[in-house]
């Protein structure tokens, strides 16, 4: 008598590194539960068809791994092999959902690993969109044909495993809103990634931190009330303005859902806008889920996080649980804290403009994973003039308008030089497109005209702009050293490239001048050290020294110099260096110089061509007689005619045409193709040996260098794995942690090459 062999349970994930295999039914059950929960939380304020949205996500969750039931795939999963599955596992879910009429769910399953689609590419698939027509199954037939032949067997095994079937839906065309589609994919991807990571022990459930908005607002009021009032009449006047601004923002109406705050630098926008959003949160609680603060530069995030953690943490709480810091430099030794930040799970998240705005337009599952936390949240974009390139705003505005109007969002745009681009006819027309609704103006949080006038008067007398004669030649390295150091210090010079900064700083030091240097040529650990030295030295208001820097210090840094010099770049950059000069109105003779540089040793920044051309057209009188917000708005208008319009129209066209990979590429806030280069030699050797190195240590002791410079510098990958294009490199040349960073080696290398040497 022959005994029947019991069929082994189907698997979703193979055994790995001592962790058992995960059964298919368990994974589907878990992903469905979490995905539906994500969708319902995201849709709690959705003005559209909430149940339809949830159903897209649920159907996709049920069938997202249907193709793993193919016997060839199961054989690989049972063997514990790390090889790729021979049959693209998403194709079966696509085929089944398409046959049932779930068009949006098809898109989600198709994209849950590979990302959102290109409509043109899918149209070209011989009438079989979203199917795998390129790869071949082990038998030699196309994967799509193989799947079609076995689809009923997959469905039978799916039901036998105890998983639900998806009912037939009414056939319909794809949804017209790309933002909604990204949210749906986020709900699925987060559920899928979370369950897989939890199974393998890489993640655990993140503890829920109570929002407690009312209590945090009261804590913020106590914090602001405890700040020192100032010792001089100017400081006392400034503090009174801060208090008035704080109260005005706190009491401002919570409608409409998009507001501005154009208060000048040094007037306390960091806490004032937070007070407004906490009040919004308190009045909408428990509807509001998160407050997200968006800042343009990594180096100013930690400064804001420190303030928020001091002001908003309640008794018995860990500050890191309440205010999460999301950027590539954050110290994530605690894995759970890292996930609270990167997945936007904390009550308050402070992140970069790159993270926030690139996520809105992304087609990547990994980046979109956190997006479903954005509905029913409030966002504060500070230093908005520096957040993104001007050509991105029309499409970004369409997305944030959809989010605030239909998904319960609330937005505040803040800057001392706020560009009101929505008032520019060309922007308005492109934002509105064919929509019949007019773009409404965006009111400021401060409606008290007497306060607005006082803030404006204070800003007008704080600094003045100067230029050399239009007929004067551009400054060489020798010229700029003499020109800058002739002025009474402390002095700040900001230039457009790392190389220009290093050349000028070295020339000053070689002449015995008192100079510090700060740029991304220094690793983060060493930049932090120099920032502390700068703050200490600035306590002496009459010291005669110079800081030579790049735009990495341009926004948000709490520095106050006596005089500033800015290599011509953009209106926003010129205004922002003004925010680092006489920041508290402590100097009566402060000026900012707009200068042109030209030297064979300097490098130009081609990304600034459009904004620089726009700034060329401003007269000195216009710079000094206009409010910074007016200047910033006019500069954006001029950038539009200098090349921004074509880029903006292309982005909107591709979004409307569902060309999502193209949209994602165009939404790069910083178009920087760089590689990570480790400057600490002992750390580099540890990586070469294969030792375990913490991510935090790696980020603190590495720099980013343009990809096209890697070969020119002869840099070698630390791991010979064939992945050098995206891997780690070691720095073999001189590195100066206290002054020039890696540019110490580059400048010495340039001298070597000029003398006839070569890098081989």
Contact 348, 324 (CB under 8 A): yes
Contact 624, 590 (CB under 8 A): no
Contact 474, 535 (CB under 8 A): no
The SS3 assignment for 423 reads: helix
Peptide bond into 286 cis (omega under 30): yes
Residue 248: name the closest of 259, 236, 257 by CA. Answer: 259
Contact 95, 131 (CB under 8 A): yes
Helices and strands, number each (H, E), in the chain: 32, 17
Residue 435 confidence (pLDDT): 46
In angstroms, rounded to a whole number, what is the distance separating the alpha carbons of residues 656 and 662?
12
Contact 479, 701 (CB under 8 A): no
Residue 576 confidence (pLDDT): 78
- DSSP letter assigned to residue 642: I
Contact 545, 489 (CB under 8 A): yes
Tell me: the pLDDT tens digits for 633-676?
A: 888 887 777 778 899 999 999 999 999 999 999 998 876 677 88
The number of beta carbons lying within 10 Å of the beta carbon of residue 239 is 17
Residue 169 confidence (pLDDT): 87
Contact 418, 384 (CB under 8 A): yes
For the chain, report the end-to-end CA distance as a whole number of angstroms.
75
- DSSP letter assigned to residue 126: T
Residue 433 confidence (pLDDT): 63
Buried b (16+ CB within 10 A) or exposed e, 304-320: bbebbbebbbeeebeeb
In angstroms, rounded to a whole number, what is the distance separating the alpha carbons of residues 505 and 535?
19
Instruction: Note the Cα 712 to chain centre separation in Å.
Output: 30
The backbone region for 111, taken as left when phi is positive above 0, alpha when psi lies in -120 to 50, beta otherwise, is alpha
Residue 758 confidence (pLDDT): 42
Q: Alpha-carbon Rg of the chain, whole angstroms?
A: 28
Q: For residue 381, which phi and psi values (nearest 5 degrees)? A: -95, 105
The CA-based diameter of the chain, rounded to the nearest angstrom, is: 105
Q: In sequence order, what DSSP letters do the residues of 143-202 get, joined into one string?
A: HHHHHHHHHHHHHHHHHHTTPPPPPP----PPPS-HHHHHHHHHHHHHHHHHHHHHHTTS
CATH topology of 213-454 equal to that of 461-625? yes
- DSSP letter assigned to residue 64: T
Going from N- to C-terminal start, the domains of the chain cover: 11-199, 213-454, 461-625, 674-754
Residue 194: name the closest of 209, 208, 186, 204 by CA. Answer: 204
Q: In sequence order, what DSSP letters do the residues of 211-240 get, joined into one string?
A: --HHHHHHHHHHHHHTS---SSHHHHHHHH
pTM of the shown model:
0.85
- CA dihedral 164→168→172→178, nearest 10 degrees, is 0
3-state secondary structure 488-557: CCCEEEECCCHHHHHHHHHHHHHCCCCEEEECCCCCHHHHHHHHHHHHHHCCCCCCCCEEEECHHHCCCC
Contact 259, 445 (CB under 8 A): yes
Residue 60 confidence (pLDDT): 98
Residue 396 confidence (pLDDT): 96
CATH code for the domain defined by 461-625:
3.40.50.300
Q: Which tokens in the block code for residue 334?
A: 């605690």
Residues of the chain with pLDDT under 70: 1-6, 171, 204, 299, 327-341, 433-440, 555-556, 671-672, 720-726, 751-760
CATH code for the domain defined by 213-454:
3.40.50.300
277, with CB counted inside 10 A (0-12, 13-18, 19+), is buried
């Amino acid at each position: 008598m022959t005994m029947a062999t019991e069929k082994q349970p189907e698997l979703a994930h193979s055994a790995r590194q001592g962790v058992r295999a995960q059964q298919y039914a368990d994974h589907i059950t878990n992903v469905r539960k979490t995905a539906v929960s994500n969708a319902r939380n995201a849709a709690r304020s959705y003005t559209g068809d909430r149940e339809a949205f949830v159903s897209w996500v649920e159907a996709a969750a049920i069938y997202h791994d249907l193709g793993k039931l193919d016997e060839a795939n199961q054989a690989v999963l049972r063997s514990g092999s790390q090889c790729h599955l021979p049959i693209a596992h998403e194709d079966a879910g696509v085929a089944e959902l398409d046959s049932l009429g779930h068009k949006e769910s098809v898109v989600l399953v198709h994209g849950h690993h590979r990302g959102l689609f290109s409509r043109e590419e899918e149209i070209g698939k011989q009438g079989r969109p979203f199917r795998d027509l390129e790869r071949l199954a082990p038998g030699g037939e196309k994967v799509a044909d193989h799947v079609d032949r076995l689809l009923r067997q997959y469905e039978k095994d799916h039901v036998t495993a105890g998983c639900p079937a998806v009912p037939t839906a009414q056939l319909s065309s794809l949804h017209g809103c790309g933002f909604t589609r990204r949210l749906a994919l986020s709900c699925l991807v987060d559920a899928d990634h979370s369950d897989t990571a939890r199974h393998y022990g890489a993640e655990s459930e993140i503890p829920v931190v109570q929002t407690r908005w009312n209590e945090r607002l009261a804590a913020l009021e106590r914090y602001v009330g405890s700040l020192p009032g100032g010792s001089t009449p100017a400081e006392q006047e400034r503090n009174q303005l801060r208090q008035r601004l704080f109260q005005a923002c706190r009491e401002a109406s919570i409608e409409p859902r998009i507001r501005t705050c154009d208060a000048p630098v040094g007037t306390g926008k960091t806490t004032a806008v937070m007070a407004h959003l906490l009040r919004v949160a308190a009045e909408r609680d428990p509807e509001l889920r998160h407050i997200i603060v968006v800042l343009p530069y990594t180096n100013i995030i930690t400064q804001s996080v420190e303030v928020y953690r001091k002001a908003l943490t309640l008794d018995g709480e860990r500050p890191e649980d309440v205010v999460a810091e999301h950027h590539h430099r954050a110290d994530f030794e605690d894995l759970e804290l890292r996930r609270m930040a990167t997945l936007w799970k904390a009550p308050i998240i402070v992140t970069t403009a790159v993270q926030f705005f690139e996520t809105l337009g992304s087609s990547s599952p990994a980046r979109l994973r956190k997006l479903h936390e954005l509905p029913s949240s409030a966002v504060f974009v500070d230093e908005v003039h520096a957040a993104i390139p001007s050509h991105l705003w029309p499409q970004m505005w369409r997305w944030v308008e959809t989010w605030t109007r239909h998904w319960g969002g609330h937005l505040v745009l803040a800057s001392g030089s706020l560009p009101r681009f929505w008032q520019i006819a060309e922007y308005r027309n492109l934002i509105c497109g064919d929509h019949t609704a007019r773009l409404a103006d965006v009111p400021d949080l401060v409606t008290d005209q007497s306060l607005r006038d006082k803030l404006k008067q204070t800003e007008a007398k704080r600094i003045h702009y100067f230029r050399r004669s239009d007929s004067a030649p551009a400054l060489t390295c020798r010229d700029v050293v003499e020109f800058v150091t002739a002025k009474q210090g402390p002095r700040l010079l900001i230039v457009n490239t790392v190389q220009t900064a290093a050349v000028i700083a070295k020339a000053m030091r070689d002449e015995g001048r008192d100079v510090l240097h700060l740029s991304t040529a220094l690793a983060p650990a060493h930049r932090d050290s120099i920032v502390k030295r700068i703050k200490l030295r600035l306590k002496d208001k009459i010291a005669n020294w110079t800081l030579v820097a790049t735009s990495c210090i341009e926004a948000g840094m709490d520095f106050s110099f006596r005089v500033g010099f800015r290599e011509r770049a953009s209106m926003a950059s010129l205004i922002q260096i003004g925010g680092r000069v006489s920041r508290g109105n402590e100097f009566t003779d402060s000026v900012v110089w707009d200068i042109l540089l030209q030297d064979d040793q300097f490098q130009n920044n081609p990304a600034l061509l459009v904004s620089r051309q726009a700034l060329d057209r401003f007269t000195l009188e216009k710079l000094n007689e206009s409010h910074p917000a007016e200047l910033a708005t006019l500069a954006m208008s001029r950038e539009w005619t200098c090349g921004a319009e074509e880029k903006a129209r292309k982005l909107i066209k591709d979004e409307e045409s569902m060309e999502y990979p193209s949209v994602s590429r165009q939404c790069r806030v910083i178009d920087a193709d760089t590689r990570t280069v480790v400057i600490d030699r002992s750390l580099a050797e540890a990586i070469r040996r294969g030792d375990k190195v913490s991510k935090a240590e790696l980020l603190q002791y590495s720099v980013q260098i343009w990809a096209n410079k890697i070969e020119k510098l002869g840099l070698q990958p630390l791991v010979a794995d064939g992945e050098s294009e995206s891997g780690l490199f070691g720095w073999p040349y001189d590195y100066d942690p206290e002054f020039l960073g890696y540019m110490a080696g580059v400048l010495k290398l340039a001298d070597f090459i000029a003398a006839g040497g070569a890098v081989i």
